[in-house]
Each structure stands twice: as C-alpha cells, then as structure tokens.
Chains A and B, each alone.
Chain A
C-alpha cells in the first residue's frame, strides 16, 4: 500500500488527493470546534436544553436524545506521563468542566461509579496496570459494563488489549491484537530509548513518532470527514476482529513523521492497520486511539474525542451530591491561596527554565524524562492561575489548599536541590523520580480545584 505524504503545503506528490479525500487542515473551521463544544457545555451548564445535531449542537451527529454534561474522570495515577495534560487542555478549551482527577487508589476505592466517562492517556502501560492492580481492573470492567465510556490513547489504548503479561493480564477486555509486536528487536534508526519496550518475551516497537495521516471509516459517530492528522508517540497499531468497529486506519506519513525504524517496516507496521477502534462491553464502550487524538495541536482529532464523549457517555447517571467535605473560599482567603500557589509555582518555574539548558535526562520506569517535561506540568498550572484569580469563589476539598501549597513547596525544594546537585556534579536520579511524582500530584491537585471552581461560579 502506498502511503500518501502530507507537507505543510499539502500532500507531497499528489496535490489533488487532498481535495479528493476532503482532508481537514488546521484552519478557522477546525478551531471553531472548540467554540462549538464550549457553547454546548456552557448552555448545558446554564440549564439549557439541547438535542444532538440541533441548533448549537450541530457539530454532533443528529439523534433524538437530549444532551447533558458529561462527568469525566481523567486518570493521573502512577505510570502516567505528562500527556494527560493534553486531555486537560482539550477539556478546558471545550468547557468540559465536570472533571475528576483520579489516581489508582481512587479508582480502586470505587470513584468510577460516579462518572460517565473515564479517560486515560499515555505513559508506562505496565506501571499503570500494576498500580490499578486486580481491584482497579475489576472497577474499570464494572464501570464499562454498566454503561460507562472508556476513552484512551497510547498507553491507555494498550491497557485493555489481550495480554498474558503480568499485571496486564487483569485487563483482558478487548480482543484486539498489537501489530507493532515482534519476537526480535527491529533495527533502530534513531531515538533508541523511545523505539522499543520489552513486552514479555517479545518487543513492542514504535515505528514512527510525530504526525501520521489517518483515514476514517465513516462509522458513526466519526462522520463528515475522511482524513486527518494526529501524533503518534508509542501508541499501538491494532489488528481487530469482528467484535470491534474500526473507526480509523493509519493511512500515511507526513513531512513531520520521524521514522525510528526503516521506512518499509514502518509502512508494513502501520499503513492499513487500525489506528482507532470502538468496542462494546456490556452496556458500555471503549474508544481506543493509537495516536494521541487529545493532543492540543490537532483540532480535528480533538473534535472526534469530544464527539465520542457526547455520543457514548453513560446514559443514566444520577446527579452527584456536593460532598460535605467541600468548602468555598472567597475574598481574602481566596486571594491568599492564589498568591501562595503563584509564589511557589513561579519559584519552581524559574528553576525549571534554567534546567532546560542542562544536557541531562532521567530514566523512570521504562520512560525517559528530560528537563523540558518539568515545565510542561508547571505551565499547565501557571497558565490557569490568572483565571483562578479572577473567579469570585474557589471550591475545594477541606484541607486541599494546605496540601496543595505544601506540595508546591516540596516541588520547589526538590527543584532547587536538583539544580544544586547538578551544579556540584552529583547524582540526581533518586530525586528526579520524586520530583515527577510530586509534579503529577501538584498538577492534579491544582487542576481539580480549578475545574471544581468553574462549576461553582456559573
């Protein structure tokens, strides 16, 4: 199969192809997806009634059902990388503000019961499975069987695939095979640390990174467009049987595609294989995306994530009561909390910017972390502090303010120690691991307050 190539100016070699396929390029129409979903969510939050495909909801397929705000759980537990922040960006831009950030303990404690949707992005699949363990797997299965929607990309897409490997064998929900699996380690052209992962006696290999071209099959609800782009960072190429619906195939490479193995193996591994699939389980569904459909630079892929959420979210969820443990901060107390967070995040950010000039990386689990990743977490907070400051009220769990500021102080302290150790040419691996874990907790804690607070200011 010949792979079409997409460049900044259009397809390489076959310009007409782009118009034939109706490929959606980044433009104002795509950017307006965010506005369209934001309008839906805003109207629903204000108590408005909308039906699928009608009026403000014309971005969605038509159906004789009323829309409601989805309550979405986002997995941020151990084993996750920074890519869950891309889901955060998508949710924030589209005003999906009923978000619950979940770690493995919360999943095991039954937090999925209150959700319509559970989203999982990238990371180290085995560590994620290990963290969730048998109890987490059972909770996830029960959630989906009772009508919940599981939306996942990359590591989150590998998780429910059939596997006999320890920890993963608890999540054998879907009869889909991994196409990028090999008995022998293929010859690697570049980025060796990101190109393969041991998988039992086999190897999962990642043929390419960055943008790939995908072709939709036209199955509902992914209709109205033929091809689009999304970035691949280690996600699966899949082989489905007739129990799953294929939503999209890998269709080509682009000028931005980085080949980690030779091009012919990459073609064989990806082109014509399944990039996105939907599988039913009990009353619920799983949407599995090899590429990161939630990546913020890909509006069309983001639109498909939002469509999936609205289309297949749990149909009958009871409204959640506000926890008695929640408090509202206003006035000086709110200002003080924002100022305290701002102080510590600024201090941490200043150190992290300086670290980006240092040629260092850390191996945590089976993932490689560079200093640039530190700021990805901090910027996710920093860019939202002013919004939080402008809100009249902040809603949070009792003591969450103290915990958040303590965690921010800890991140700052670790970063300063890390910088001092680097200056003194000392080992940093041990504290780097602690740093990324603390960053994850800090960001999760902040964002939970951020999203909760939006809902109490409507």
Chain B
C-alpha cells in the first residue's frame, strides 16, 4: 500500500522474541478494506498461536473527521469468540504513526515485557519492574523511562495480571472500549503494555482533493444535529437520562475530544479539587477522565451519586477492570460503598451480560445520538448499530461519534477511501466485507 498506510504488518512472537514484518498488500486491502476486516483476517491466519491483533483503519490518523479509531481483535475470554475492542483518545492515531498498520502479537513471553513501537521500530522491553503496578503507575513509568509524555499506552493493571475475565486493556490512564476481557489475554502473554509513539507521515493519493473535502465535511458536520451539545453528560441525556447534566455538573472540569473528533466524548471531572478552578491543579491526581458513557450510565441507574460513580470509575481504570461490568455486578449485589467495591476487585467475578451486537463493543451506545438516522423503530436499532459500527471499525472512525453524524455516510467514506488510497472500493465490496466481519 502506497497511501494512507505505512505498508507494514508487524508480527511479534513474545515466546521467541522474534520480530518480523510483512507488506500490506493492495490485494488484501481490496478484499478486506482495513481495520477489523484485516485484523480478522490476520487473526484467522495466526489463530493457532492465540493472537492479539492491533490495527487501524485506512482513514485513521488522517484529517477525515473522527478518524481516531484503533482496534484490538482477539478471542474474548468472556465469549470464546473473536471480538473487537476500540481504542480512541490519541492512541489509535498514534498507532498509525508508529509506522505499523497492523500488529500481530503471538505467544507468551517468558517474563513480563512491554512492546515499544516507534517510528517503524518494534522493541520488546523488559517490564519486570512494572509487573504488579496499576495502570496509572505503568503509564507514568513507561513515559518517564522513554522520556516522552506524549507516549500512548495500552496497558493492563492487576486485573489483567491476575487473569480476571473482567480485565480491561486501558488507554494511558483511562478506560477503553474493551468489554471483552482482553486485559486477561495481555496478562496471559506476560504483556504489561504496548507503548506507542511515532512521528511518521502519511502519503495521500489525491492530497489536495482529500484535504479540501475533509475541511468541507468538517464544516458541514459542525453545524449538524449535535451542535451546542458536549461532553459525556449530553450523551447520557440523549440516552434517556435527562437529569445527567445536573447530576454530573458539580464535578465537571472540562470536556475533551479524541483525535480530530468534532464532538467531545470525554469529560474530565475533579474529585479532589474544586472543579471550577482554572489554575494548575494542586493535587497530583485531581480527578478522572470519563470516556465510557455506558459505564457511567450504569452506575447512575444503580443509584450511585455522581461523585461515587466517578470514584469507582477511577478505581476501575487504575486496576484495569471493565467499569461497565463492575457497575452491573454492583447493581446485582446492591453494593454502593466505593471502598468495599474497590477492595472486592480482586475477587470480582461474573457472570455479566455479553454485549449485544456480536463482535463490536457495547462501549458505543446502541442507538442513534442527536439524530435519528432515519431509524425510528427501536427494534431496528441493533441491526442499524451493528452495521454502523462495522463501517466505523473498517475505516477507522470513532465508534461513538459515528452514531451522531449521518453526514459520515458510507458513500462518503468510500469516496474518501478512494481519494486517499487511489484504490477503487465499491459499495458492493463494502457490503461483502461488512457481512464478513459481522458474521
């Protein structure tokens, strides 16, 4: 692949320490497009070696709106089937710029390691000192050791190390869309983290047209249905919790968006300081970034105060455990004491509900947001959502934002894909790949 791609598939065998690279063929892109189309294909190719496959879409990291998605594909410990977890914030973009389009991680390392991907170089680094550390300390240590605060991490905490089915692969310090227990797979491989940093460049087949159209689409989208809305509280409100804004308001410090995403799907709350302060925080850990609307909603519906819900979410991220699963178990047990919940993490076990929609993460609300997309019948939501998620996961689009913006149509994504890559993807081919990844 000459365009929108580093043209590299990295294969890392943690057992032997062997690292190799394959080219990303145009032919494979023609058949599978990218994102989960190709991670699924690579998963099948290496199935015998229990692969974890990381990947991005061809639009990831470009100027196309909401092109923030990276994806982890692997066999879920919770379902026993291939599933896909999105990672956003700046991590999807950063993976793209490390110089690898896809990363296949095989085998089990004899000792704890982290994988350091940078500028087309992959290094397996010793993580013995990090083993036992929580997610926050792990990210801090990696950033300090490597000397850069912009390094993005996909890291596990004690939950992953101890083999919990609820373990989550977290992004930097925060939650991710991993509702599949992929944190456990990292732990089983003795893989503490994948650290990402790259300063590469992407070539575009028709650069002027591509960039101009990205700006046009951006302008169009910003005046769309979600104009004037922001943060996680307005998403919750749209999901039926009309008092969500009032509930969360006292703690909201700021909102932030994932890479190049026109809506701020993340909200930073201050728990240990006055949320209205505009100066640098005094406390080393003033608060928490909420980026999982479904988990927050679950805690709210379970009767938690906003402050306690946020405290548990923060504890989940440090421990590396799926907050939506914790919320579900708390609701079942009636436990609302945040300290007791935190103390129970090491023994917390399911069952928890298996997400609807087959292979895509329930982190993205299973409904249209701020716009009806012409889907008025609630019974049709799941089929609509599944297709919408498949498209997002194939091209590299933020899976929550894709539910907000009808402007990001399949036709537009095909057009931009073709302009960016110089290939000729058709709607028929896209339909075939969607059927394939959803089956």
Interface residue ranges, A against B (CB under 8 Å): 339, 342-343, 346-347, 349-351, 353-354, 415-416, 418-420, 423
User: Is B146 a contact of A350 with CB atoms below 8 Å?
Assistant: yes
11 A-B contacts, Cβ less than 8 Å apart?
A339-B121, A342-B119, A346-B119, A349-B119, A350-B118, A350-B148, A351-B147, A354-B149, A354-B150, A416-B145, A416-B147
Instruction: Decide yes or no whether B199 CB sits under 8 A from chain A.
Output: yes
The 4 lowest CB-CB distance pairs between A and B, nearest first, are A351-B147, A346-B119, A416-B147, A419-B147
A354 and B148 contact, CB distance less than 8 A: yes
Known contacts A349-B199, A350-B199, A353-B199; is-contact A416 B119 (Cβ 8 Å): no
**Nearest B residue to A386, CB-CB:** B120
Residue on A nearest B149 in the bound complex, by CB: A354
User: Which B-chain residue is minimally distant from A353 (CB atoms)?
Assistant: B199
Which residues on the A side are within 8 Å of B145 (C-beta)? 416
Judge whether B276 is part of the interface by a CB distance below 8 angstroms.
no
CB-defined contacts of B151 to chain A, threshold 8 Å: 350
Taken together as a complex, chains A and B put the C-alpha atoms of A29 and B147 apart, in Å, by 44
B349 within 8 A of A: no
From A346, A350, A415, A420, give the contact of B144 (CB < 8 A).
Answer: A420
- Asked, given contacts A349-B199, A350-B199, A353-B199, whether A343 binds B121 with beta carbons under 8 Å apart, the answer is yes
Residues of B at the A interface (CB closer than 8 Å) are 118-121, 123, 144-151, 197, 199
Q: Which residue of B lies closest to A418 (CB)?
A: B147
B266 to chain A, nearest CB (A): 22
Give complex CA distance A339, B121 in Å.
8
Assuming A349-B119, A350-B151, what are 12 further A-B pairs, CB within 8 angstroms? A343-B121, A346-B119, A349-B199, A350-B119, A350-B197, A350-B199, A351-B146, A353-B148, A354-B147, A416-B147, A420-B147, A423-B144
> Which of chain A's residues have a CB closer than 8 A to the CB of B148?
350-351, 353-354, 419
Q: Which residues of A contact B120 (CB under 8 A)?
A: 342, 346
The answer to whether A347 and B146 have CB atoms under 8 Å apart is yes
A346 and B199 CA atoms in complex are apart in Å by 9
B45 to chain A, nearest CB (A): 25
The chain A residue with its CB closest to the CB of B118 is A346
Q: Give the contacting residue for B121; candidates A342, A416, A419; CB below 8 A.
A: A342
Q: Nearest Cβ distance between residue B37 and chain A, in whole angstroms?
A: 29
Q: Are A347 and B118 in contact (CB under 8 A)?
A: yes
**B147 lies within 8 A of A346 (CB):** no
Most buried by A among B144, B147, B150: B147
- Find chain B residues with CB under 8 A from A347 CB: 118, 146-147
Complex Cα distance, B151 from A416, in Å, reads 14
- From known contacts A342-B119, A343-B121, A349-B119, infer whether A416 and B146 are also in contact, taking CB-CB under 8 Å: yes
| Shortest Cβ gap from B313 to chain A (Å) | 28
Contacts of B121 in A (CB 8 A): 339, 342-343, 346
**Could you tell me the distance between the alpha carbons of A351 and B144 in the complex, rounded to whole angstroms?**
10
Residues of A within 8 A of B149 (CB): 354
CA distance A418 to B144 in the complex (A): 11
Closest to B120 in A: A342
A353 to B148, CA, bound (A): 8
Per the bound structure, the CA–CA distance linking A418 and B199 in Å amounts to: 21
Q: How far is the CB of B405 from chain A (nearest CB, A)?
A: 32
* Separation of A415 and B146 alpha carbons in the complex (Å): 10
Task: Provide the residues of chain B in CB contact with A351, threshold 8 Å.
Answer: 146-148
Complex contact A343–B199 (CB within 8 A):
no
Please measure, in the bound complex, the distance between the C-alpha atom of A28 and the C-alpha atom of B121, giving whole angstroms: 37
Contact status B144-A343, CB under 8 Å? no
CA distance A343 to B118 in the complex (A): 8
Q: What are the residues of chain B within 8 A of A343 when measuring CB–CB?
A: 121, 123
Across the interface, name the chain A residue whose C-beta is closest to B116: A347
Most central of A343, A346, A349, A351 by chain B CB within 10 Å: A346
